[in-house]
């Protein structure tokens, strides 16, 4: 099983499937989009910091497990690329809304 395919850091799909259908009123205890987005950004930042720490430990000789360092770097790269794809889609959606005529 490839650990890079298990992207449990971004639980947007899971959270969206638990909420009601789009356009319906959200329940009062449902997390806001802002909260979900901030949490995802924090998780990407955590992944980046862990990758940096693993790489630094490997270079200084404190860590001898090259496999875990490579996995941490790859996990951070996948998280970052996913975040950038979401960012691009958000900007694209914003521009589309701004082009709409009222």
60-78 pLDDT per residue, tens? 988 778 899 999 999 999 9
Asked if 48 contacts 76 with a C-beta cutoff of 8 angstroms, the reply is yes
Question: Is the pTM for the entire model greater than 0.85?
Answer: no
Residue 45 belongs to what domain range? 31-102
Q: How many residues belong to the chain?
A: 102
pLDDT > 60? residue 23: no
Residue 8 domain-assigned? no
Distance separating alpha carbons of residues 78 and 67, to the nearest angstrom: 16
Number of domains in the chain: 1
Q: Which of 32, 44, 55, 35 is nearest to 78 (CA)?
A: 44
Residue 24 domain-assigned? no
Asked if 16 contacts 36 with a C-beta cutoff of 8 angstroms, the reply is no
Residue 4 domain-assigned? no
């Amino acid at each position: 099983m490839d650990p890079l395919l298990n992207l449990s850091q971004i639980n947007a799909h899971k959270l969206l499937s638990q909420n009601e259908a789009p356009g319906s009123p959200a329940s009062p205890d449902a997390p806001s989009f802002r909260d979900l987005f901030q949490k995802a950004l924090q998780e990407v930042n955590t992944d980046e910091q862990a990758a940096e720490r693993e790489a630094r430990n490997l270079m200084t000789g404190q860590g001898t497990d090259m496999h875990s360092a490579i996995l941490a770097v790859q996990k951070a790269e996948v998280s970052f690329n996913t975040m950038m794809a979401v960012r691009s889609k958000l900007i694209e959606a914003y521009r589309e809304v701004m082009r709409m005529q009222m």
